[in-house]
Structure 1
Amino acid sequence: MLIIEDYLLLALDDVTGKPVTDTSYLQEVAGGALLVELALRARVDLAGDGSAWRSGRVVVRDQSPTGRPLLDASLAVVKSREGSKPKGLVEALARTKPANAALDGLVGRGLLRREEGRILGIFPTTRWPAADSRHEGEVRRTLTRVLLDGATPDERTGALVAILAATRQAGRVMSAGAELTAGDRREVDRRAKEVAEGSWAAGATRRYVEEITAATALAISTSAAIGATVAVTAAQA
């Protein structure tokens, strides 16, 4: 499973198929998650001092296929824009609609169902209820141990928590699988931030993930600002 797939399973209500998080920036989250995944699989990295690229730019270390079409397509995007800043790559990947491809993959593997309908008989809508929640249940149990019980995460779980912390969604997605008070949700968000800033991975990997999650948060803010401006302009027209 990819990190973005785990995120999507957590972000969708198992019964209704409706998102429990804000989905207006889902493509940016997917772009950031794929960049993180590529780093964990040693395909990409940040350029350092002495590199042919400017320090802090994203570079390809290994072009070999990962065996996952979505991830390989993302690697091709990175290669075509090698040397870009993290935010630029998050935005470039977001434009390819990677969350849509990830949802299609989850449907294809029998973890989600696609249910299409219309609101008021006019506006098309799609819901994604769970078809097989066993993997999601295991992810939730792992996150419970880390975010509620204080366990130390492995590298992959640490990366997922870092993305949840960057998007401020940890408390919300955890409350979808358990009865949490508002105070509990705040504590989960605090713990997620603590984990994201901790030593859950080797220094180079953690620095990369920090850069990508920060770039993802910035891309989300930019997308939200553009959306708000468009809405105001339309209202004034």
Structure 2
Amino acid sequence: MLIVEDLMLLMLDDEKGTVARAGALNYSLGGAVLVELALLGRIEADEDRAGLNGPEVLAVGDGPLPDPLLQSAYDEIAQKPQGIQALILSIGAGLQEPVLDRLVERGLIRRESKRVLGVFRTTTWPAEDTRHEAELRRVIGAVLVDGESPDARTAAMIALLSSSGTLPALRPAFPWSDEVRRRAKELEDGNWGATAVTTAMARNAARIAATAATSAAVSVAVFTAIT
């Protein structure tokens, strides 16, 4: 399984089938794909060509990648190098449905659709087979709670869960303490993909706040003019 698939599995509430920190999902999924490409040695960040969207990400190496989802992201980067924060959203925005479909096909989750008030259709993805997720949680817990050294893949998952603010919101919950938070933050700070997720989310929050403030100011001005 890809890092992005494991990440999605962890972010789903096993019973309710909803996503923890759904607002951070696209950032997390996009970051997971970029981190996996970096671990495979197929992308590099050019710090000398950093702009408002962070360092430019370049496609390197040749030959086909082991998964079409990774290949699609690699091809996008190869076609036009972009800043990492822009890439995170560009890649992550289209990943939710295909990644959920993969988890359903693997038998790890199931898709449940129902109508609310007889009108609105909602879909959830509760757990079906929890064995793989249980092993993921065991390995992550060994790092965060017991202080074991992680491999690159586990470090990346923890870093991404930390950067998106998802880690304390996972269900079932991990034991949470200042020490667990500190270890997760250390891994986040050491992973450029996770750091880019944090920055991209902060910039988006600032844009939303600015838009809301502008809208409020316009509304006040209009109301004042009318009265």
TM-score range, shorter chain: 0.7 to 0.9
Whether the 8 Å CA contact 2:114–2:123 is kept in 1: the answer is yes
Is 1:188 the counterpart of 2:187 in the alignment? no
Whether the 8 Å CA contact 1:169–1:189 is kept in 2: the answer is no
Residue 201 of structure 1: aligned partner: none
- Quote the offset at 1:168 in angstroms: 2.2
Residue 118 of structure 1: aligned partner: 115
Of 132, 136, 145, 1:135 maps to: 132
Instruction: Please report the RMSD computed on the Cα atoms of aligned residues, expressed in angstroms.
Output: 2.6
- Quote the offset at 1:43 in angstroms: 1.0
Change (3 A) 1:2 1:232: farther
Residue 76 of structure 1: aligned partner: 75
Whether the 8 Å CA contact 1:28–1:220 is kept in 2: the answer is yes
TM-score when normalising by structure 2: 0.83
Tell me, in whole angstroms, the C-alpha distance in 2 between the residues paired with 1:40 and 1:62: 12
Larger Rg: 1 or 2?
2
Of 97, 100, 117, 2:97 maps to: 100
- Quote the offset at 1:117 in angstroms: 1.5
Residue 6 of structure 1: aligned partner: 6
Q: Percent identity?
A: 39
- Quote the offset at 1:156 in angstroms: 0.7
Tell me, in whole angstroms, the C-alpha distance in 1 between the residues paired with 2:213 and 2:111: 29
Unaligned runs of 5+ in 1: 198-205
Tell me, in whole angstroms, the C-alpha distance in 2 between the residues paired with 1:74 and 1:80: 10
Is the partner of 1:126 in helix, strand or coil? strand
Pairs aligned (count)? 214
TM-score when normalising by structure 1: 0.80
Is the partner of 2:22 in helix, strand or coil? coil
Residue 165 of structure 2: aligned partner: 168
Q: Residues 185-229 of structure 1: CA distance to partner in whole angstroms, max 9, x if unpaired?
A: 4442222012334xxxxxxxx5xx32x222222222333445553
Partner letter of residue 2 of structure 1?
Answer: L
Q: Which moved more, 1:137-146 or 1:159-168?
A: 159-168
Unaligned runs of 5+ in 2: 223-227
